[in-house]
Amino acid sequence: MIEFVNVNKWYGEHQCLHNINERVDRGEVVVVCGPSGSGKSTLIRTVNRLEPINSGSIRVDNADVNDRSASVNELRSRIGFVFQQFNLFPHLSVKDNIALAPMNVHRTPRVDAIEQAMKLLDKVGLRHKADAYPAQLSGGQQQRVAIARALAMKPPVMLFDEPTSALDPEMVGEVLQVMKQLANDGMTMICVTHEMGFAREVADRVWFIADGEVLERSKPAEFFSAPVHPRAQKFVSDIRS
Amino acid sequence: MLDILSDYWLLLLVGQFPQGPLGGIALTLVMSIAALLLAFPVAVAVAVARTSPIVWIRRAASIYVTAVRGIPLLLIIFWSFFVLPLVTGINSSASVTVVCALVVYEGAYLGEAIRAALDALPTGQTEASRSLGMSYWTTMMKVILPQALFNCLPSMMNQFVLIVKNTSLAYIIGSQEVTFSAHSINAQLLTKPFEVYFMLAGIYFVMCYSLSRIAKLVERRVERKRSGQLAVQGGRNSTLARASS
Amino acid sequence: MSLESFQVLAEPDVQRLFLRGLGTTLTLFITSSVCAYALGGVLVVFRMSGRLSSALVAAFVEYHRNVPSIVQIFVWYFGVPQLLPGPVQTWTNTHLGPFFFAVVALSLNAAAYISEDLRSGIRAVSTGQLEAARALGLGYIKAMRLVVVPQAIRGAAPALINQALGLLKATSLALAIGVNELMYVARQLDGETYATFPSYLTPTVIYLVCTLTLMFIGSRLQRAANKTR
């Protein structure tokens, strides 16, 4: 579903991604973790070309992400992205936030787009907030709306860039709940997250990144009980303490 | 001063209308409103051009802004006065010429205010919109501009006050707005220049001060809405921002 | 609007005319700037010392903010001499020309804006700075002078440079009371020779050169000031 082939990225003199060669199969849930500054956010942002790469290729659903001749908008409409800072549109109501992209990209008629928005709000448990504005919602509620907004485009793959890092602790659970439900429904997901409980329960695989390199990739159970790479071992022991 | 006001209030208010063209305060306000309305689309275009991803568009807009900001408004008025008939073929009135000069002038200044508002929007807004697959223009029209234009309403109102003040230069090329009326009155009275011109100052003061107060009210409403917007960007302060707004 | 009209710029008389105009503009500018910045600083001090002086300064600022500059010039040049007692008025009429009144009007106007910019700059310096300075034992005035004001000026620098730019452009308004600055000279030339394009292109170029130079100096000053951070 998603393939990284020899991906390298430099930011000026600093190399932030080293020879990334990975793949994510359809229906897989991959959690990307690592110390801060490791490049995990950069990696996930290259998938929908929010960040360019210097060499190598990334393919999503058999389409080359960096193909200059293809429409980047078309590609992005098939990839769902959830931001750490939610980035809801403050001047639009919740349901308009969700309906905006289907109406403008897929040319969905407003009636259908709103109906779909309401269904998605049901799914994330926020139907009663349909007419509210983002400023009136808590962080956890805003993030759930952001997930619904991304789902409105019916993407085959969802990317999560530290979706709960900006939330107060008591709201983390409600967002993880939505993400778990998505995973159980068979969505292909890459999640950059610190939430190890989520990784243990839902992930099929964990990628450990440090200094722009994927140093270890294994099943969550193995990763958290017996990491192989010394840096991974340090990371796991740091989390425990 | 009050007797001058009572004798000449009509001249100050509407100039020689209806025996002549519209003048006085009425003309001042008409010119100002026309200038703001016509300058607005120019300013939006300049602001969007200044933030464009295409280099030569950005540069062209920067040159325009630097050039306009580098010369006095009076010089722009003189340029308009002799360039306009050449470009349009018609000899437009002094007031129309001044409005055109103000449109060029405000295109740059108001454009800068709008650009500042565009830059002040968090990049997350553009990223979120583009990530959903929306094009640059759709993002601009549906997400970025609605927010930026609302946020710079206070600046726009301040620019309007400046426009009103700038119309005072129009008399130099023959427009009969309120400064011209004051000159006429002084030419008739001759012995009371202080009263006449201080009264003129008073007239502008009342107009501009009232507009600034309205601008302050608008600013307060925009600030309130904007602090709500900070809550939308996420972060530990989200619940705090919600509590304060 | 033919290109032959540009030949008028080659005449030494014309060149001298523009040079004199430029000289007047620059003299107006420098004189007004010095007075404006000095007065602006004084006004800020008054703004912060007591309710009455604060109100007076606020009124001063509001007047200059809401009245167009050219009207302020008229009030000073046409109006104020009328208020002066007899002998003073005669002296003024013979000894003080439009240049003097233009400087007065432009300086006061700019001083009002400068005092506001400085005030914003001071407010922008976090109160923690003053508190820390006082906690070290510095008196209020010393604390302001050594800690707050330098930071305030650094913060207000862009606005202050903008005021200088505005003042340079505002000198063109002195044309209205007969001062022979650049715009007056250009208009004079246009009236005499009908060479409109070169008459107005010359001051355009000159103003652009001056404002760009000012902006350059300004950014250099700012960079030097920020280096010591």
pLDDT confidence tier of residue B165, bands split at 50, 70 and 90: very high
Exposed / middle / buried, residue A15 (Cβ in 10 Å: 0-12, 13-18, 19+): middle
A55: which strand partners?
A8
Q: Which helix (H) or strand (E) holds A160?
A: strand A157-161
**How many Å apart are CA C105 and CA B30, to the nearest integer?**
28
> Does residue B238 register a pLDDT over 50?
no
For the segment B152-171, the average pLDDT, to the nearest whole number, is 93
Q: Do chains C and B touch (3 or more CB pairs under 8 A)?
A: yes
Are A87 and B127 inside 8 Å of each other by CB? yes
Are C1 and B192 inside 8 Å of each other by CB? no
For the segment A44-62, the average pLDDT, to the nearest whole number, is 91
In chain C, domain spans: 3-227
**How many Å apart are CA C161 and CA C224, to the nearest integer?**
14
Are A133 and B124 inside 8 Å of each other by CB? no
Percentage of chain C beyond pLDDT 90 is 53
Q: Give me the count of residues in chain B.
A: 245
**B210 close to A (CB below 8 A):** no
pLDDT confidence tier of residue A125, bands split at 50, 70 and 90: very high
**How many Å apart are CA B102 and CA B36, to the nearest integer?**
8
ipTM over cut 0.95:
no
Domain C3-227: which CATH number of 3.20.20.140, 1.10.3720.10, 3.50.40.10, 1.10.8.640: 1.10.3720.10
Q: pLDDT by residue (tens digit) across C145-185?
A: 888 888 888 888 889 999 999 999 999 999 999 999 999 99
Token readout for B174 is 């023959």
pLDDT of residue C229: 53
Count other C-beta atoms under 10 Å from residue A219's C-beta: 12
Q: In chain B, whose CA is at the least distance from the CA of C83?
A: B194
Q: Which residues of B touch A88 (CB under 8 A)?
A: 128, 232
For the segment B228-244, the average pLDDT, to the nearest whole number, is 47
Which residues neighbour C200 within 8 Å (Cβ) at sequence distance 6 or greater? B75, B78, B79, B82, C186, C190
Sheet holding A157-161, edge to edge: A79-82, A157-161, A188-192, A29-33, A205-210, A213-218
What letter would DSSP give residue A176?
Answer: H
CA distance A88 to chain B (A): 6
pLDDT of residue A99: 93
Q: Which residue has the higher pLDDT, C125 or B67?
A: B67
Taking the model in full, what pTM does it have?
0.84
pLDDT of residue C54: 93
Are A153 and B133 inside 8 Å of each other by CB? yes
Q: Which residues of A touch B225 (CB under 8 A)?
A: 135
For the segment B156-178, the average pLDDT, to the nearest whole number, is 94
Exposed / middle / buried, residue C226 (Cβ in 10 Å: 0-12, 13-18, 19+): exposed
Count other C-beta atoms under 10 Å from residue B232's C-beta: 27
Distances in whole angstroms, Cα of residue B199 to Cα of each of B138, B167, B212, C64: 51, 17, 20, 14
Identify whether B18 is preceded by a cis peptide bond (ω within 30 of 0). yes
Q: pLDDT by residue (tens digit) across C58-102?
A: 999 999 999 999 999 999 999 998 888 888 888 888 888 899 999
> Does residue B233 register a pLDDT over 70?
no
Q: pLDDT by residue (tens digit) across C19-70?
A: 999 999 999 999 999 999 999 999 998 988 889 999 999 999 999 999 999 9
Q: Do chains C and A touch (3 or more CB pairs under 8 A)?
A: no
- Measure CA A211 to chain center: 20
Q: Which residues of A touch B140 (CB under 8 A)?
A: none
pLDDT of residue B100: 94
Percentage of chain A beyond pLDDT 90 is 68
**B239 close to A (CB below 8 A):** yes
Helix (H, G, I), strand (E, B) or coil at B168: helix
Contact present, A208 and A235 (Cβ < 8 Å): yes
Selected residues 198-227 of chain C with any CB under 8 Å from a CB in chain B: 200, 203-204, 207-208, 211-212
Selected residues 29-68 of chain A with any CB under 8 Å from a CB in chain B: 48, 50
pLDDT of residue A149: 95
Are A166 and B242 inside 8 Å of each other by CB? no
Q: Which residues of B touch C173 (CB under 8 A)?
A: 72, 74, 169
Which of B83, B82, B101, B71 minimizes the C-alpha distance to C205?
Answer: B71
Which of C176, C135, C161 minimizes the C-alpha distance to C33?
Answer: C161
Contact present, A191 and A198 (Cβ < 8 Å): yes
Are B242 and A100 inside 8 Å of each other by CB? no
Across chain B, what does the average pLDDT equal? Answer: 88
pLDDT of residue A120: 95
pLDDT of residue B82: 86
Count other C-beta atoms under 10 Å from residue B204's C-beta: 23
> Does residue A75 register a pLDDT over 50?
yes
Q: What's phi and psi for B166, nearest 5 deg?
A: -70, -25
pLDDT of residue B113: 93
Q: pLDDT by residue (tens digit) across A86-109?
A: 999 999 999 999 999 999 999 999
Distances in whole angstroms, Cα of residue A137 to Cα of each of A144, B49, B125, C206: 10, 35, 17, 56
Domains present along chain B, CATH in parentheses: 2-244 (1.10.3720.10)
Q: Which residues of B touch A142 (CB under 8 A)?
A: 232, 234, 238
**B184 close to A (CB below 8 A):** no
B to C CB pairs, distance under 8 Å: 105
- Measure CA C68 to chain center: 14
**C58 close to B (CB below 8 A):** no
pLDDT of residue B108: 96
